[in-house]
Structure 1
C-alpha cells in the first residue's frame, strides 16, 4: 500500500470506471484537482495486488473507500490510525461497513462514537428526461442570488445532518459560491416587492465526471411540503442536469419511502447501495 500521486492517474481512473456512479464523489474531485496530495488536499491510498491497483481510499474530511478487497480495507484501517480527523465515512455500503468495522476493531473508541449511521442508501440513476412536465420556475442560480441560496443551503444541511455547516472558516460559504459559479446550483426564488428574495426549492450537482452527475441537497421550504411541488421541481432539475450530463444519479436513505417513490416516478431506477457514517 502507498499514497498515490499524479503519475498514477491513468490506473486510478481505470479503478474508478469499474463503478463510476458509486465512485463519483472521488472521481469528480480528482478530475478537478488532480491526484497529487498537495493539490487534492488529502492523500489517496492505493492497494496493489500483483502490480494491479485493486482498491483505494480517499483520506480527507470524507473517508471514501473504493473497492471492497478485504485485505486492502484492513491495510487502510491500519494506515489511517487511531486519531479521527474525518467528518464521515461514505461510499459503497459494503466497503463503508467493512472499513468502519475495521477501524473500530483496530483503534476503538474514537471511531466507534458516531453521530449517525445510514447503512442503506439506495443509489438511483436515470438517463432519460422525465415523462412529466417540469416547473419552469426552477432555474440555475446566479451569483446575484447567492445570499438567499446560501440561506436555503444552510437550512437544508442543518435539517439533514443535524448540525450547522458553518464553522467560522467560511468554507461552506465558499463551497456554495463555487456551486453557483459552476452552474451546479438550481432552485426557485420567491420575490416580494420591498422584501428580500428567498429560495423555496433548491438542489445541487454535488459531483460530476465522465458524462455522469450526482444530485444532492434537495430541499423544499417546510411550509410548502405536502403540496406535490417537489415532483415538477425535480423533473425540471433532471432536465437541467441532462443538458450537461446525460446520466443523472442520486442516493436517498432507505427509510425515506416518499422520496424513493417520487424519484421512481421520474424514471430513476436503483442500481446499487451506498452508506454513510457521520461523526
Structure 2
C-alpha cells in the first residue's frame, strides 16, 4: 500500500463533516424561511404563498423541495430556493443562486422553468449550462410591476370572478394563452394536471373573466400567487377577435380591483420587448419595482 492510500481516508474526513451551505429545509426551518420571505413580500409572493399553503418549509407536493443556503457555520438561513416543476430563488445573490444550481445539477430532474429576480435566475442558468444542462429560452429582462391603491382608469364592470360552470371555456382560453406565451400546448405536459390547475384557480376565486353570452371568453386573467400582502397576476389573455378595440385597460383595472379583495398590492412581470403590454400596465397605474427573468426548459 502506498503512502497516499494510507492517508486518503483521513484527508477525506474533514470534507465530509464540514458544513455544506446548501441543504433541503426541514419543518424546523419554517420560521427562518418565513422571515426570509418577508424581506420582500412582492418579489417573493410565489414562495410566500406556498409556505402559507403548506404551513411548513417542507412542501406537501411529491418530489418538490425547498432548499436553503446557510451562512455563519449553518446558523443563519441566508437564501432559499423552491425546486419543483418550476424553480424559484428567494433573496439569493449570484453566488448563492449558483450553489442552488449546482445542487440541482447533482439531483437533476426535469423542470418547466426557473423564474424570479434576474440576478439569481441568470446565475442559475449559467451554472446549469456549465454542467451541461441547457435551456430552450432565456427571457433575461422582465420588469416586475406593482400597483397599490386605485387604478388610474375605470374598471370594466363586466369582469367578474369565474365560476365552475365556465370551466370548459376558461380551459380553452387558458390553453390558448399558454401556447401563445411559451410556444407549445400545456397539454403536452399532461392534460389532467393542467385541467386540475385551471379548476383550482376557479374554485379558489383566483380566475377572473368576461364571457360572451354564448360562453366564449373575451378576456381572462388569473392570480397565480396570493398572500395577505400581495398577489401576482398571471395568464392575462384577450380573445384575438376583440383585440385592438381599447378594452384591455378597463379589464386590467378590473383585475386590480378584484385582486385587491385579497391583498393590497397587485403585481405582475412582463417581457421587456412587449411594449404594448408595458404601456397598458403603465396606463392602469403599475410601476416598476424590480426586474425578473424567466428560463424555459
TM-score by length of 2: 0.87
Q: CA deviation at 1:73?
A: 2.4
Computed over aligned residues only, the root mean square deviation of the Cα atoms, in angstroms, reads: 1.5
| Residue 33 of structure 2 corresponds to residue 12 of structure 1 | yes
Alpha-carbon distance between aligned partners in 1 of 2:153 and 2:255, rounded to the nearest angstrom: 12
TM-score by length of 1: 0.93
Alpha-carbon distance between aligned partners in 2 of 1:230 and 1:71, rounded to the nearest angstrom: 40
- The residue number in structure 1 matching 2:51 is 30
Q: CA deviation at 1:75?
A: 2.4
Q: What SS does the corresponding residue of 2:41 show, helix, strand or coil? A: coil
Selected match of 1:237 from 226, 248, 255? 255
Structure 2 runs not aligned, ≥5 long: 1-21
Indicate if the aligned counterparts of 1:47 and 1:54 stay in contact, CA closer than 8 A.
yes
Selected match of 2:208 from 186, 195, 200? 186
Q: What SS does the corresponding residue of 2:177 show, helix, strand or coil? A: helix
- The residue number in structure 2 matching 1:103 is 128
Indicate if the aligned counterparts of 1:6 and 1:34 stay in contact, CA closer than 8 A.
no
| Residue 111 of structure 2 corresponds to residue 90 of structure 1 | no
- The residue number in structure 2 matching 1:274 is 292
**Mean CA deviation greater in 77-86 or 139-148:** 77-86
Write the mapping of 1:108-147 to structure 2, written as runs, cut at 5 A: 108=132, 111-112=133-134, 114-147=135-168
Indicate if the aligned counterparts of 2:41 and 2:229 stay in contact, CA closer than 8 A.
no
- The residue number in structure 2 matching 1:158 is 179
Selected match of 2:193 from 171, 177, 191? 171
Q: What SS does the corresponding residue of 1:19 show, helix, strand or coil? A: coil
Aligned pair count reads: 271
Structure 1 runs not aligned, ≥5 long: none
- The residue number in structure 1 matching 2:7 is none
Q: What SS does the corresponding residue of 1:64 show, helix, strand or coil? A: strand
| Residue 73 of structure 2 corresponds to residue 48 of structure 1 | no
Q: CA deviation at 1:22?
A: 1.3
**Mean CA deviation greater in 23-32 or 179-188:** 23-32
